[in-house]
A and B are shown apart, each in its own frame.
Chain A
Amino acid sequence: MATRDVLVIVPALNEEESLGPTLDEVREVAPWADLLVVDDGSTDRTTEVARARRVPVLRHAVNLGVGAALQSGFRYALERGYAIGVQHDADRQHDPRDLEALVAPVREGRCEVSIGSRYVTRTDYRTPLFRRLGMLLFAAVVRLALGQRIADTTSGFRAYGRRAMEAGLDDFPRDFPDAPLLIALGRRGFRFVEVPARMREREAGRSFYTVGKSLYYPYKNMLASLMAMLRAPNDGERRS
């Protein structure tokens, strides 16, 4: 059993530059949370950077995808008895000062998943047009599937309760854990709350979402969303 009940899961792929400051910042602002880095097959010093800060590292020997990295984090959190798992990017896009507000709705039992959203209130984050269009599209898809409005379906800043993490172990998109995941969780009856969150521009490293993936992303997410709608809500409870 963990002494603290919140685990901040930081999936990282070749983030040796920004991972260190990210971890330092989380630790400084949220000393009440434990940290876990999931190194998703990095070829740089990502693992060493985390180890130097005495943060536990789950290291995938090969790259499996953001979704798979997050899922490994869920398994770790569940095995060690954490009540809440927070997904937190390693590229300093998220502001750990928002962690407390993000965790609160899950802790208070108002929802199983809370989403740190760029669009709940005005923030100074500027989204590229192409990405913005995609977000609108998938917000519409999620709304259609669940009847619930989620403004920022692509946010990588989320808090999950234990039941949501357990469901996440059963059925999880391996690459992009966005709209299809929300639809799969929503269809199992989980509730979502969106919390305003500050987003910053990337400072170093490379985004998970590269140019090649930006073409594949809409196709994959559309198909996966459709499949999540067609499947029975508790389908997939056997894998992993």
Chain B
Amino acid sequence: MEFLSRAQVITAVAATLLVLIVLDLVRRRRLSEEYSLLWVASTIVVAVLGFSTPLLKSITHALGILYEASTVFFFGLGFATAMLLFLSVKLSRLGQDHLTLTRELAFLRLELERLRGNPPTPGQESA
């Protein structure tokens, strides 16, 4: 029986740990299911690549990469980049939502003050 290489063991342990952490975060409602998908999918892909020597070798060959480890890093980095881009887009959206809410709050507060009779309505300020 062929023993697993040290790299394969490390990959297996790290990937299992990461998936468990992600799932646990979802369980504790600290991470939404939506975001967990990318994490779980990327971890599984990288784990499979790191684990399956024939698959890794054929992909490395097909992509014209010289060294197998580079293929694992290539996919890992690809996922990291995709994740960061995805988060930047989300963040921009959140920024827009945050602006809308803050503005809405400002208008409501002004209206509330007006109803309470604090600052005057326009046209009467100089009175």
Contacts and interface: CB of A to CB of B under 8 A. Distances in A.
Interface of A: 2-4, 7, 27, 31, 34-36, 38, 51, 53-62, 64, 68, 71-72, 75-76, 80, 174, 239-240
B106 A59 contact: yes
Given A54-B125, A56-B110, A64 B119 contact: no
Contacts of B125: 34-35, 53-56
A38 B122 CA distance: 14
B122 A80 contact: yes
Contacts of A35: 125
A61 B107 contact: no
B100 A60 contact: no
**Secondary structure call for the B interface:** helix
15 contacts: A4-B122, A7-B122, A27-B126, A34-B123, A54-B126, A59-B106, A60-B105, A61-B105, A68-B99, A68-B103, A71-B103, A72-B106, A75-B107, A174-B99, A240-B103
B90 interface: no
Q: For this complex, into which size category does the number of interface residues on chain B fall?
A: 20 to 34
Which 7 pairs, one residue from A and one from B, show the smallest C-beta to C-beta distance? A3-B123, A34-B122, A58-B106, A54-B125, A56-B119, A2-B122, A60-B102
B107 A57 contact: no
Given A56-B110, A58-B110, A59-B109, A64 B122 contact: no
Contact of A54 (B95, B105, B110, B120): B120
Nearest to B125: A54
Contacts, number: 65
Contacts of B95: 174
Given A59-B109, A239-B96, A64 B123 contact: no
B38 to A, nearest CB: 27
A3 B99 contact: no
A191 B110 CA distance: 33
Residue in B103, B120, B126 whose Cβ sees the most chain A Cβ within 10 Å = B103
Residue in B106, B110, B123, B125 whose Cβ sees the most chain A Cβ within 10 Å = B106
Interface in B71-127: 95-96, 98-100, 102-103, 105-107, 109-110, 114, 118-120, 122-123, 125-126
Contacts of A51: 118-119
A68 B103 CA distance: 9
Contacts of B109: 59
Nearest to B120: A54
B115 to A, nearest CB: 13
Contacts of B123: 2-4, 34
Contact of A61 (B102, B118, B120, B122): B102
Nearest to B105: A61
Nearest to A76: B107
B94 to A, nearest CB: 13
Contacts of A55: 119, 125
Contact of B106 (A7, A34, A60): A60
B99 A64 contact: yes
A18 B100 CA distance: 28
Contact of A3 (B96, B105, B122): B122
